[in-house]
Structure 1
Amino acid sequence: MSNPQEPYQPVQPAAWPAEPAGQPGNPGQHGAPPLPGNPPHGAPGQYGAPGQYSSDGPFGLPGQEPPVRNRRKPWTILGVVVGVLLLAAVGVLILVNVVNGATNHARGLADGFTKLVIAGDSSKAYDDYLDPALHEQLTKEEFIAGIKTLKMDRTCKPAYNQVNASTENGTKAADVAGLITCDGDKKIDLAYRFEGTDELRMINIKLKPQA
C-alpha cells in the first residue's frame, strides 16, 4: 500500500546576503576600496607630496631626483690654469737664468782683461781677448804703448756699472762699461764690446782718463 503523497509546497528562494555594515555596495561611491592595480594616493610609484622626489618617476619630470652635477669640470679647469701658470713661471725662470748667465760671462771677460792691463801684462791681454779684426786696426805695439800712457798700478780697482748681453741671428754680443779708480784720485773710464758665435772676443775698446 502506497503512502499518500504530501501536498506540493513551493520552494522559497534563499534570501540575498546582507552587505556588511559600513561598506557600501557601490564601488564608485565615495569611500569605496581602491580597485586592483591602482595603489592608493601617496603609495610608491606616485608623485607623492609636493617637494618630495621618487626614484620611480620618469626622467626629467617631477618624481625623479635631480641628476648630481659633475664637479670634476671646475677642478679640471683649475688644474689647467695652475699648470699654465707654472709653465709660465718656469719659462720666466729659465729666461732669467740665461740672461744672468750671459751678463755674468761678459762681466768675467771684462774683469779678466782689465786685471791683465792693470798688472802690466798687456801683451797677454792683447792675444787672449782682442778679436782678429781689432788686431788689424790696432797692432800689439800700439796697444801696449797706449796702456802705458794710462800709468795704472796695483792700486787701481775696476767697477762695472753697466753690463748688457744679447743674441741676434746666432751672434752673441756684450757691452760693458765702468770705471777704474786708482790712488791719487785717478779715474779711468772703460767701455768694451765683445762679439762672437762660440767664443766672445773684444771688437771695441775704450780706456780714457776721466776729465
Structure 2
Amino acid sequence: MSNPPLPPPQQPRPYQPGPQRPGPQRPGAQQPKGRRALPPSPFGLPGLPPAKSRKGLWIVVGIVAGVLLLVIVGVLLLVNLVGGSTRQAGDLADDFTRLVIAGDTDKAYNDYMDPSLKEQLSREDFASGVKSLQLDPSCTTAYDDLKVSTQNDNNIADVAGLIKCQGKDIEMVYRFAGKDELKLVTIKLRPKV
C-alpha cells in the first residue's frame, strides 16, 4: 500500500518590522490618498533614515530676511527724512516768496526772518527793497537749486532760483537755518542782469 504524498512542511514567516497601526484593522482598509505604503525592510536591516533637519536652513533664511527688512526700512527712513526736509524748505521758500510778491513785507519779515538777519536788515529797509523790485501778481517762481544739509546740529536749506515777471527776472537766493524751526538767515533779491 502506498501512502498518499504528504504536503510540504510549513515554515514560520520571519519577523518583519514595519509601521504598526494600533487598534483594530478592517479588512480592505485603505491608506490616505497621497501616501504610499513603504515596503517592509528585510529582517536585520534598518528602516528609512530619519528626515534631514532643515533647522540651519531656516536660521539662514531668517537672518537674510531680517537684514533685508532692516535695509528696506533704513532706505525708506532716509528717503522720508531727506525728502521731508527738502519739501519743507521748498514750502518755506514758496510761502515767503508769495508774501514778497503780494507786497505783504511785514508778515514776511515777522514770520520768516531769523533774529540775526533782523539785526542786519531793518523792516523798513526790507520793505523799500522789495518795493523797488516792482513785483506784481503775474510774477511766478522757478527754483534752480534746492539743497538741504545739516551742520553742527543745525538744519540748513539753500534755495536759489528766479522770480519771473513780465519783462524782467529777479534773482533770489535764500538760506534757511535752525534746529527745530527753519528761519531765513540770508536773503538776496535783485534784478537779473
Would you say same fold, with TM above 0.5?
yes
Query: Which deviates the most, 166-175 or 136-145?
Result: 166-175
Of Structure 1 and Structure 2, the greater helix share is in 2
Distance 2:159 2:48 in 1: 74
Structure 1 SS opposite 2:180: coil
- 2:108 is aligned to 125
Amino acid at match of 2:43: P
Distance 1:134 1:147 in 2: 16
What 5-or-longer segments of structure 2 have no aligned partner? 1-41
Q: Which residues of 2 match residues 191-210 of structure 1 at below 5 A?
A: 191-210=173-192
Q: Which residues of 2 match residues 176-191 of structure 1 at below 5 A?
A: 176-184=159-167, 186-191=168-173
Shift of 1:67: 5.6
Amino acid at match of 2:112: Y
Amino acid at match of 2:69: L
Shift of 1:196: 1.0
Is 1:150 aligned to 2:133, yes or no? yes
Match of 1:173 among 156, 170, 180: 156
Distance 2:66 2:188 in 1: 49
Amino acid at match of 1:139: S
Shift of 1:66: 5.2
Match of 2:74 among 91, 99, 103: 91
- 1:140 is aligned to 123
Match of 2:144 among 161, 168, 176: 161
Structure 2 SS opposite 1:153: coil
Please report the TM-score for the alignment, with normalisation by the length of structure 2: 0.73
Amino acid at match of 2:135: M
Alignment RMSD, CA only? 1.7
Shift of 1:69: 2.9
Structure 2 SS opposite 1:191: strand
Distance 1:106 1:143 in 2: 21
Shift of 1:141: 1.1
Distance 2:96 2:182 in 1: 12
Larger of the two Rg values belongs to structure: 1
What 5-or-longer segments of structure 1 have no aligned partner? 1-42, 46-53, 56-63
Shift of 1:76: 2.1
Higher relative contact order (CA 8 A, sep 6+): 2
Q: Percent identity at matched positions? A: 52
Distance 1:80 1:103 in 2: 34
Amino acid at match of 1:116: L
- 1:105 is aligned to 88
Amino acid at match of 1:93: L
**Residue-by-residue CA offset, 1:118-167 (whole Å, 9 max, x unaligned):** 11111221111111111111111111111111111111001223222222
Distance 1:180 1:167 in 2: 27
Structure 2 SS opposite 1:152: coil
